Structure 1
Amino acid sequence: MELRGKTIAVLGGKTGLLGQALVKALTAAKAKPKPLSSKDCDIVDPGSVERVLNKIDPDVLINAAAYTQVDLAEEQEEVAFALNATAPPLLAAAAARRGIPFLHYSTDFVFSGNRTTPYTVYDNPGAFSVYGISKAEGEKNLIALGYDGTLIIRTSWLFGPDKMNFVKKIITLATERNTLKVVDDQTGSPSYTPDVAANSIKLLEKDATGIFHLANSGTATWFDLASEAVRLAGLPCTVEPIPTSGYPTPAVRPAYSVLDLTRFIQTTGETPRHWKDALKEYINQEKDS
């Protein structure tokens, strides 16, 4: 699909970490993104969705909106399931009625983490947390709906401009403290939102459907990511590794959730750059701003 000139509705596009990156990438691709917030469209209300889509008349519908507060989801299960499990098939059905592509974002948290080799798009979810289970249920409901214009992209460990994220929080804390303690026994795939956005566009241009994994290349622990961020920022702060048991949280995190990018690479012919290269770009931009 040629995206130039196409009108693209981006749910989560006004305030979301990934949504804002998508709007920028789509604009750069000469498309016409229409960023939407929860104030513009209630994604769990079919009537609201219909009214908004009738007004915009998009050529593509992207859902980058979600309930992402992992720990709070343990208390707000009903809200998490409404946004992450119930809304996606409602949106896909609206896209199906219009015969337009539907792109939905999911997460590495759908996996249990009980392994030491990257998860492929063919591996079955086995989440532990309410957040992960709700996102896995959203995927399941989309598959059950069976709209063949659906593209599901799982991504992970997002960092990037325009909104608070793990890296920005680490840099902020590192300017205030001499020492930081960060867990070193959770391993995943860091993902730079501008790269995820640009590579999502490549999948749309290839008319890709089904499930894809999208992140930056390479693996890291949270300790690795934090240490490299502090080093690149040139801050005199020591980052010390601690086990997950030393930093208890309400929600269980996957110990290992590295995403296998093979299907994306085979489909587009391109390999995402290493997370360290993306992190360097981000840190330099943060310094400049």
Structure 2
Amino acid sequence: MRVLLLGANGQLGSDLRRAHEASGARFDLVPIGRDTLDVAVPGDVDRVLKDRDFDALVNCTSYHKTDEVELNGGLAMAVNAHAVDALARICAAKGARFVHFSSDYVFGGDVLHRRPYREDDPTSPVNVYGASKALGETFAQLACPNAIVVRVASLFGVNGASGKGGNFVETIIRVAREKGRLKVVDDQVMSPTATADVAEMVLRMLTQGCPGGVYHVVGSGSASWYAFAREIVRLVNIPADVEACESRDFPTVAMRPAYSVLDGSKISSRFGAMPRWEDALERYLHAKGHRSGTREPAGCRAPDNEAFALRYDLMTTDQVPARTMSEWLLETEFDKYVRTRRRM
């Protein structure tokens, strides 16, 4: 089996490559970088892939800097939706499996929802990023009926997110050590997830056989960003105070879901339960050297102005409310897609 991997140098793609090498899986994994295929460039997918032979394609590409995405809806739709449609069509034409990664941010609009979301719950994004990912899911399954859509959430991996320069864990460690005190939002609850665990599960899905559909592959359990940060500081043994605050104390360009915990029972019933996020965090901290005194790999430094839960250096803007903008983009882009398909 020959598997193409897009986004191979990112946080998730890097762990997929490591997991493949460590597992001794008997298939070829072919990484394809942005220098070879830029999914944001119209026509690049067909140009690069139409003459290639492969049995599966794993798409780790994404435009996921949430606040930046809110102000760049066109690029978000190009990368997170239209490129996904092109990739799914190529896979369908070649009879290849298509594995695409989506996000817990396709949820959040139901403000009263307080149970883990199942795969068949209706999507309700509250920002442009979530709307573009929801549309990408739809395109993937329309163009390639046996596509596997893997929803993940709140990722942390050794390489850090290539588009952000790090991840939440590294940001918390850095700020806690530098400041000795930090405030983190306690009214946003999610599923912290290690990319290493996602990578191992996806390898099982590829090698053991998995029906098409949507799957939630996230760490077991849930936490607010405050609870997550407090556990990071405790495990690394940093003498710092972690205080809880509300989202309104740190206004952001894009809205975030108040609750986006994903139910992983569907994937666990077939392949076994994902590890708890606390266990995954401890393994991650050991791998990075935060608990053993070893030096962390080069190129994994957290960004200086991570703009997610710690909103200490964030621009503000007057704009259409995020939910309204997301819904508008989803409706207009989907209508455009349907009209195009009808003309074909």
User: Which category of TM-score, normalised to the shorter sequence, fits these structures?
Assistant: over 0.9
The question of whether the paired residues in 2 share the 8 Å contact of 1:190 and 1:220 is answered with: yes
The aligned runs of 1:1-289 (5 Å cut-off) are 6-14=1-9, 16-29=10-23, 30=25, 31-45=27-41, 47-53=43-49, 56-112=52-108, 114=111, 115-145=113-143, 147-163=144-160, 164-204=166-206, 205-268=208-271, 270-287=272-289, 288=294, 289=296
The question of whether the paired residues in 1 share the 8 Å contact of 2:104 and 2:152 is answered with: yes
Deviation at 1:55, TM superposition (A): 6.2
Deviation at 1:36, TM superposition (A): 2.1
Compare CA radii of gyration and give the structure with the larger one: 2
The question of whether the paired residues in 2 share the 8 Å contact of 1:107 and 1:135 is answered with: yes
**TM-score, normalized by length of structure 2?**
0.78
Distance 1:44 1:93, change over 3 A: farther
> Root-mean-square deviation (CA), in Å?
1.5
Q: Deviations over 1:24-73 (max 9, x none)?
A: 11222333222222221022456432343356522210111010010001
> Residues of 2 paired with 1:157 and 1:141: CA distance?
23
Q: Which segment is superposed worse, 102-111 or 42-51?
A: 42-51
> Residues of 1 paired with 2:43 and 2:68: CA distance?
28
The question of whether the paired residues in 2 share the 8 Å contact of 1:44 and 1:82 is answered with: yes
Q: Deviations over 1:204-256 (max 9, x none)?
A: 22233100001010110001111111111111111110001111111110000
> Residues of 1 paired with 2:69 and 2:51: CA distance?
33
Count of paired positions: 281
Distance 1:32 1:134, change over 3 A: same
**TM-score, normalized by length of structure 1?**
0.93
2:182 alignment partner, SS class: strand
Deviation at 1:96, TM superposition (A): 1.1
Runs of 4+ in 1 over 6 A off after TM superposition: none
Equivalent residue for 1:3? none
2:145 alignment partner, SS class: coil
Deviation at 1:137, TM superposition (A): 0.9
The question of whether the paired residues in 2 share the 8 Å contact of 1:110 and 1:127 is answered with: yes
Instruction: Give, as a single letter, the amino acid of the residue that structure 2 aligns with 1:11.
Output: L
The question of whether the paired residues in 2 share the 8 Å contact of 1:26 and 1:32 is answered with: no
The question of whether the paired residues in 1 share the 8 Å contact of 2:45 and 2:83 is answered with: no
Deviation at 1:153, TM superposition (A): 0.5
Q: Deviations over 1:68-105 (max 9, x none)?
A: 01000111111011101111110011111111100000
1:71 alignment partner, SS class: helix
Identity within the alignment, %: 37
> Residues of 2 paired with 1:276 and 1:108: CA distance?
19
Deviation at 1:11, TM superposition (A): 0.8
> Residues of 1 paired with 2:22 and 2:97: CA distance?
20
Q: Which segment is superposed worse, 245-254 or 28-37?
A: 28-37
